[in-house]
Amino acid sequence: MQILLLLTIILALLPTFPIGLVTDGRWSVVCTAATVAALFLVAWMAGKLFAHLWNRTWYLRGLRCYRLVRAGLFVGVVLVEFISLILLSWGYVVRRVWGLGTWILLDEILLLSPLMLSLVAVWWGLYPAEKILHDSLRRRDSTPFWSRTGYVIFQARTHSAILILPMLLYVTVQEMGSQLDSALMEQFRQWLPFYYFTGISVLAVLVVLLILPWMLVRIWQTESLPQGELRDLLESTARRLGFRYTDFRVWHTQNNIANALVTGILPWPRYVVFSDSLLQALSSYELVAVLGHEIGHVRRWHLPLYVGLCMLAAVSGVQLLSLRWPGLEPYLVALLYRLPSDLADWRQWLHLAFSMTVLWGYIWLIFGYVSRHCEREADVYGCLAASCGNAQCSDHRENRSLAKSGDSLCPTGIRIFISALEKVADINGLPRTQWSWRHGSIARRIAYLEKLQRRVAQGCRWPRWLWLPSWTTLILLALSVGGLSYLGISVF
């Protein structure tokens, strides 16, 4: 969802827009507001319908249908943004009719307002169904669900923490590019685009990687894990596995989300975040296994892998698109740095929008494939964190010393991590077979670990070659970029 929203934001901040069906500024405002209101009406009706259905039955009928409707509404959010910008001339009105193209941030906020209002409308409309869904799935605690306003604010915080910094940096790069003198661009057109734009882009990525962890733990309103036995256990696990970090944080979700994550490529700032429901539902050994899973992402270099993979996939995708659409690069430069272009032409704009969608799908497929393999590798590392290294171990009741980094697995450690996965699925109300593009399904992950458990009992210390699919994909992308550049197909 976040990647789709980021793509929408990039396309919504184009330097120029074609003239749509409505050219008058006042009518464009009215029609845009009516489009957002129509989406709100659909979301409100869906929320009421499913809440009414679930109130009359003791089980959640049509849960899969509801999830499809909810996903469709978020696709509708994207469609509302593009309908407003293009058909209703909202982009043309903001940038040309009102002449706000030179105003720093004001034009960007107005261009994105249909998207932001549509998101709020969907969250607000679906609230009754989400509340009953929470009450049905959270059976073990009496934590009340948010109020309607609190729910919308929580969703806004959750999404903005991930999107706001990349969006601000993108806008900053656009503003800097738009201030370049056109004569200077013409004079240095042979070398300035590559060195200037590449330098700014790399710097922007580095700033995001350094600042995003710090911003995320504050926008999500996390707090440091209190001192006590649990924190001592997690700290000793981090030392045992050679993991450096800034802090362990608790994410307060009113026991509505069971999740954990690690933020930060560098040891500082790097935070390990546990949601409140995860800390409440899992045993100490299971939390050690979850921490081991997050440490596995760091120790196996998954975070730098993800960054390099996305950058190489983006460059490779642009090169492949250039084979089908020669001359694409100037429009991408105009997109990224708000330079003069002829994107006001309908054909060129649709070409660019379609190409960006194809590029997003290309990155989505590659990243999803690699991410699922990395999750499997991190799962095994989570099993290692809860293992004692004895292949014949039946339990950990004897207070065995757990394995150090690089030691072997034990059947009990694998069972502990499987139990943690099952509890996370139950708390979040996820069917075991539900597939995720980044994680796969819980059922497939558990099936692999059960197979690994049998292999460990037969003497297997550690599964080899888990890293091979992910890093092979990265190498193939690098070779693809290098080969296409050698043939004269470059980004700039």
Query: Do 238 and 175 sit in the same domain of this protein?
Result: no
Tell me the C-alpha to C-alpha distance, in Å, between residue 377 and each of 233, 440, 463. 23, 13, 9
Query: In this structure, how many other beta carbons lie within 10 angstroms of the beta carbon of residue 323?
Result: 11
| pLDDT per residue rounded down to tens, the chain (492 residues) | 677 787 788 778 777 787 888 888 899 999 999 999 999 999 999 999 988 887 766 455 677 888 889 999 999 999 999 999 988 989 889 988 888 777 777 888 899 999 999 999 999 999 999 998 887 765 555 678 899 999 999 999 998 877 776 777 677 666 666 655 554 555 544 444 555 556 666 676 777 778 889 989 999 989 999 999 999 999 999 999 999 999 999 999 888 889 999 998 888 889 999 999 999 999 999 999 999 999 999 999 999 999 899 889 988 998 888 888 776 766 666 666 665 555 556 677 777 778 888 988 999 999 999 999 999 999 999 999 999 888 888 787 655 567 666 568 999 999 999 999 999 998 888 889 989 999 999 999 999 999 999 998 888 878 888 999 999 999 999 999 999 888 877 665
Query: Do 148 and 260 sit in the same domain of this protein?
Result: no
pLDDT value of residue 400: 58
- Determine, yes or no, domain membership for 184: no
Nearest Cα residue to 9 out of 117, 157, 109: 109
pLDDT value of residue 448: 96
> Is 218 exposed, middle or buried, given 0-12, 13-18 or 19+ CB atoms closer than 10 A?
exposed
Q: Distance (Å, rounded) from C-alpha 77 to C-alpha 92?
A: 20
pLDDT value of residue 57: 60
pLDDT value of residue 458: 83
pLDDT value of residue 9: 83
Phi, then psi, of 268 in degrees rounded to 5: -135, 125
Query: Do 251 and 270 sit in the same domain of this protein?
Result: yes
pLDDT value of residue 483: 92
Query: Do 213 and 73 sit in the same domain of this protein?
Result: no
pLDDT value of residue 411: 92
Domain boundary among 179, 198, 219: 179
- Sheet containing strand 247-251, edge to edge, reads 222-224, 247-251, 271-275, 260-263
pLDDT value of residue 151: 95
What is the DSSP code string of 441-452?
Answer: -HHHHHHHHHHH
> Is 457 exposed, middle or buried, given 0-12, 13-18 or 19+ CB atoms closer than 10 A?
middle
Nearest Cα residue to 251 out of 243, 242, 260: 260
Query: Do 106 and 207 sit in the same domain of this protein?
Result: no
Query: Do 38 and 138 sit in the same domain of this protein?
Result: yes
Query: In this structure, how many other beta carbons lie within 10 angstroms of the beta carbon of residue 172?
Result: 15
Query: Do 140 and 245 sit in the same domain of this protein?
Result: no
Cis peptide before 166 (omega within 30 of 0): no
- Domain count across the chain: 2
Query: In this structure, how many other beta carbons lie within 10 angstroms of the beta carbon of residue 346?
Result: 12
* 3-class secondary structure, 325: coil
The pairing of beta strand 247-251 with beta strand 222-224? antiparallel
Which tokens go with 395?
């339990």
Four-point Cα dihedral 170, 264, 426, 42, nearest 10: -10
pLDDT value of residue 148: 95
pLDDT value of residue 188: 45
- Determine, yes or no, domain membership for 462: yes
Query: Do 133 and 261 sit in the same domain of this protein?
Result: no
Q: Distance (Å, rounded) from C-alpha 35 to C-alpha 89?
A: 13
258, 278 Cβ separation under 8 angstroms: yes
Query: Do 144 and 236 sit in the same domain of this protein?
Result: no
- Count of all residues that appear for the chain in the document: 492
pLDDT value of residue 273: 97
Residues 6+ away with beta carbon under 8 Å from 355? 321, 325, 328
> Is 255 exposed, middle or buried, given 0-12, 13-18 or 19+ CB atoms closer than 10 A?
buried
Domain boundary among 179, 205, 222: 179
- Domain containing 397 equals 189-492
pLDDT value of residue 450: 95
Query: Do 172 and 301 sit in the same domain of this protein?
Result: no
Q: What radius of gyration, in Å, describes the C-alpha atoms of the chain?
A: 25
The pTM assigned to this predicted structure is 0.89
- Determine, yes or no, domain membership for 238: yes
pLDDT value of residue 488: 77
Q: Distance (Å, rounded) from C-alpha 317 to C-alpha 359?
A: 6
Q: Distance (Å, rounded) from C-alpha 96 to C-alpha 338?
A: 14
